[in-house]
Chain A
Amino acid sequence: MNVTRGFTGRPRAHRPGLPPGQYDAGDDWPVLSAEVTPDLAPADWTFRVDGLVAAPRTWDWDEAHALPRSAYEGDIHCVTSWSKFGVRFGGVSLDAFLDAVRPDTSATHAVAYAHTGYTTNLPLSDLTGGRAWIAWEYDGRPLAAEHGGPARLLVPHLYFWKSAKWIAGLRLLDHDEPGFWEQNGYHGRGNPWEEQRYAGD
Chain B
Amino acid sequence: MTETFTPSTRFAVPGRIAVSNRAAALWQTATLTEIRPETPRAATFRFAVPAWAGHLPGQHLMLRLTADDGYTAQRHYSIASAPDDDGHLELTLDHVSGGEVSGWFHTRAQPGDEVQVRGPLSGFFAWPGDRPALLIGAGSGVVPLMSMVRHHRARGLDVPLRLLVSARGPEELIYAREYGAETLPVFTRSAPEGVPVGRLAAHHLAPLLAEGPTGGWEAYVCGSNAFAEHASRLLVRAGQPVDRIRIERFG
Q: A36–B24 contact, CB under 8 A?
A: no
**From DSSP, what is the main secondary structure of chain B's interface residues?**
mixed
25 contacts between A and B (CB under 8 A): A1-B70, A3-B67, A3-B68, A4-B115, A6-B109, A9-B100, A23-B100, A31-B225, A31-B249, A31-B251, A33-B249, A35-B11, A36-B236, A36-B247, A37-B229, A38-B8, A48-B2, A58-B2, A80-B75, A82-B251, A116-B8, A146-B225, A183-B15, A199-B25, A200-B26
Known interface pairs A1-B66, A116-B7, A199-B25; A184-B122 also in contact (CB < 8 Å):
yes
**Is residue A185 within 8 Å, beta carbon to beta carbon, of the partner chain?**
yes
| Inter-chain contacts of B123 with A (CB < 8 A) | 184-185
Report chain B residues within 8 Å CB of A185.
Answer: 19-21, 24, 121-123
Chain B, residue nearest A185 (CB): B19
Give min CB distance, B111 to chain A, whole Å.
12
Which residues of chain A from 7 to 55 have any CB-CB distance to chain B below 8 Å in the complex?
Answer: 7-10, 12, 21, 23, 30-38, 40, 44, 48
CB distance from A190 to the nearest CB of B (A): 14
A29 to chain B, nearest CB (A): 9
Nearest neighbor of B221 in chain A, beta-carbon distance: A36
Instruction: Give the complex CA separation of A35 and B249 in angstroms.
Output: 10
Kindly state the separation between the CA atoms of A8 and B7 in the bound complex, as whole angstroms: 47
Interface size of B by CB at 8 A reads 62
Given contacts A30-B225, A30-B251, A184-B19, contact A36 B233 (CB under 8 A): yes
The interface residues of chain A lying within 8 Å CB-to-CB of B225 are 30-31, 146
0/1 interface trace, chain B 84-106, chain A, CB 8 Å (1 if under): 00000000000000101000100
Smallest CB gap from A45: residue in B: B8
Which 10 A-B pairs give the minimum distances between C-beta atoms? A30-B251, A200-B25, A117-B7, A117-B11, A199-B21, A185-B19, A6-B108, A31-B225, A4-B65, A116-B11
Q: Does B15 contact A115, Cβ atoms closer than 8 Å?
A: no
Cβ of A21: which chain B residues have Cβ within 8 Å of it?
72, 74
Q: Check A4/B242 contact, CB under 8 A, given A44-B8, A201-B25.
A: no
The answer on a CB contact under 8 Å between A32 and B9 is no
Question: Which residues of chain B come closer than 8 Å to A114, judged between CB atoms?
Answer: 7, 11
User: Which residues of the partner chain A approach B66 to less than 8 Å between Cβ atoms?
Assistant: 1-4, 7
Nearest CB on B from A174, distance (A): 19
B10 contacts across to A, CB distance below 8 A: 117
In the assembled complex, A141 has its CB within 8 A of some CB on chain B: no
Instruction: Judge if A168 is at the interface, Cβ distance under 8 Å.
Output: yes
CA distance A38 to B29 in the complex (A): 41
Q: Does A103 contact B (CB under 8 A)?
A: no
Q: How far, in angstroms, from A56 to B115 measured CA to CA in the complex?
A: 51
Contacts of B171 in A (CB 8 A): none
Could you tell me if A200 and B9 are in contact, using CB atoms closer than 8 angstroms? Answer: no
**CA A6 to CA B22, docked complex, whole Å:** 30
Given known pairs A30-B225, A44-B8, the reply for A23 and B73 (CB within 8 Å) is yes
Q: Which of A4, A31, A58, A118 contacts B1 (CB 8 A)?
A: A58
